[in-house]
């Protein structure tokens, strides 16, 4: 039974995931670039390590939750990376949303070292991480998925094996494509309601209860009405995800007009210096 876990990257979502693991009896060692940002997690019982190599040494499983594909490459590969220092037989679980091609590369290089790699991106944001209700989409060998299922069950509610390495990331791309269109629809509905002089709170409550209802409408729509743009999920990270989805769709000659348009909206907001706001700040595109 796996008990000792290394967790690399303890950000908005990662800190709640670490806490949930510890609450369920796992001993968790952590590494992140800035120790002072995780002092509260250390006080809760996480074991701080000064390097990736130290963090992953002799651990049953290594979970990574970093920001961008370049960060994934940095923590997995090279002389000081996870693959070089994890013990043979360890399970490497990348929960970052990243390129399916990169996940396949991690799987191949890990396999050559006697390691078991899974790509397991998540959906549900900071609320899902805190409440352990994340949707977890997993690619890799099914036997490795089954071995890690007890860990996933501590972190999420909807846990699904999707196939070979990269399949979890492809599923997450589909998720992000759907969110892009849905959240843009919510913002356009609010922009229309405002222009028509409606009571926006009453309007949102009404349409949320019908066929237009969605998680984005009930949660991010409500945050928009409050003027709360704190990040449950950063604009800069959503841009990263949509860019990957656009590249993957282009590789198979698939034109996704909604994705392309919403990505351009967010890129415009990022150029205006808003990339560290939450995705619900898309409404600002319509307030120009």
Exposure class string for 25-43: b at 16+ Cβ within 10 A, else e: ebebbbbbeeeeebeebee
Asked if residues 69 and 97 have their Cβ atoms less than 8 Å apart, the reply is no
Is 172 assigned a catalytic role? yes
Exactly one of 59, 130, 172, 284 is catalytic; which is it? 172
Please report the DSSP string for 147-169 in residue order. HHHHHHHHHEEEEEEEESTTHHH
Rounded Cα distance, 79 and 101, in Å:
21
**Burial of residue 163, with CB atoms counted within 10 A of its CB: 0-12 exposed, 13-18 middle, 19 or more buried:** middle
**Distant-in-sequence, close-in-space partners of 159: CB < 8 Å, separation ≥ 6:** 135, 136, 138, 149, 152, 153
Q: Residue 248 to residues 1, 173, 177, 259: CA-CA distances in angstroms?
A: 37, 9, 12, 12
Active-site residue list: 172
């Amino acid at each position: 039974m796996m008990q000792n876990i290394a967790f690399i990257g303890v950000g908005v979502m990662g800190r709640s995931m670490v806490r949930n693991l510890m609450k369920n009896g796992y001993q968790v060692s952590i590494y992140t670039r800035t120790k002072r940002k995780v002092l509260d997690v250390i006080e809760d019982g996480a074991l701080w390590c000064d390097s990736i190599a130290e963090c992953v040494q002799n651990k049953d499983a290594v979970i990574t939750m970093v920001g961008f594909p370049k960060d994934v490459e940095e923590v997995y590969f090279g002389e000081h990376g996870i693959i070089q220092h994890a013990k043979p037989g360890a399970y490497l679980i990348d929960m970052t949303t990243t390129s399916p091609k990169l996940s396949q590369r991690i799987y191949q290089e890990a396999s050559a070292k006697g390691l078991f790699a899974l790509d397991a991106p998540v959906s549900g944001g900071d609320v899902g991480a805190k409440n352990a209700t994340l949707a977890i989409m997993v690619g890799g060998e099914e036997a490795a998925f089954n071995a890690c299922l007890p860990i996933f069950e501590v972190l999420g509610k909807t846990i699904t094996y999707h196939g070979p390495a990269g399949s979890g990331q492809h599923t997450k791309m589909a998720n992000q494509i759907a969110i892009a269109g849905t959240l843009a629809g919510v913002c356009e509905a609010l922009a229309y309601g405002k222009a028509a002089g409606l009571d926006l709170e009453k309007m949102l409550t009404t349409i949320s209860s019908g066929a237009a209802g969605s998680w984005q409408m009930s949660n991010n729509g409500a945050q928009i009405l409050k003027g709360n743009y704190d990040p449950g999920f950063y604009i800069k990270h959503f841009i990263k995800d949509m860019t990957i989805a656009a590249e993957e769709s282009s590789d198979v000659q698939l034109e996704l007009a909604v994705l392309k348009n919403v990505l351009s909206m967010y890129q415009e907001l990022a150029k205006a210096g808003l990339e560290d706001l939450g995705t619900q700040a898309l409404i600002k595109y319509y307030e120009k």
